[in-house]
Amino acid sequence: MKVGFVGLGIMGKPMCRNLIKAGHHLSVYDIVPEAVEEMARAGATAAAGAQAAAAASEITITMLPDGPDVEAAVLGPGGVLAGATPGAVIVDMSSISPLAAQKVGAACQKAGVQFLDAPVSGGEPKAVDGTLAIMVGGEKSAFDRVLPLFQSMGSSAILTGAVGAGNVTKLANQIMVACNIAAMGEALVLATKAGLDPEVVFNAVKGGLAGSAVLNAKAPMVISGNFKPGFRIRLHQKDLRNALLAAESLKVALPFTSLVQQMLVSLMNHGHGDLDHSAIVTLIEDMAQTAARKPA
Which is it for strands 132-137 and 120-121: parallel, antiparallel or unpaired? antiparallel
From CA 67, how far away is CA 245, in angstroms rounded?
13
Tens digits of per-residue pLDDT, 59-79? 999 999 999 999 999 999 999
In the chain, the DSSP E strands lie at 2-6, 25-29, 45-46, 59-62, 89-92, 114-117, 120-121, 132-137, 154-161
Question: Considering the chain, what is the average pLDDT of its residues?
Answer: 97
Q: Using a pLDDT cut of 90, give the percent of the chain over it.
A: 97
Does the pLDDT of residue 14 top 90, yes or no? yes
Widest CA span in the chain: 64
Where do the domains of the chain lie, and which CATH numbers do they carry?
2-162 (3.40.50.720), 168-288 (1.10.1040.10)
Q: Which helix (H) or strand (E) holds 112?
A: none
Residue 296 above 80 pLDDT?
no
User: Residues 50, 52, 54, CA angle at the centre, nearest 5°?
Assistant: 70
pLDDT at 105 over 90: yes
Alpha-carbon distance of 168 to 146, in angstroms, equals 20
Contacts of 63 (CB under 8 A, 6+ apart): 5, 6, 7, 8, 9, 11, 12, 15, 93, 94
Mean pLDDT of 207-223: 96
Task: Return the active site residues.
Answer: 170
Q: Reduced to 3 states, what is the DSSP secondary structure of residue 147?
A: helix
Would you state the pLDDT for residue 292?
Answer: 97
pLDDT band, residue 295 (cuts 50/70/90): confident
The three-state secondary structure class of 153 is: helix
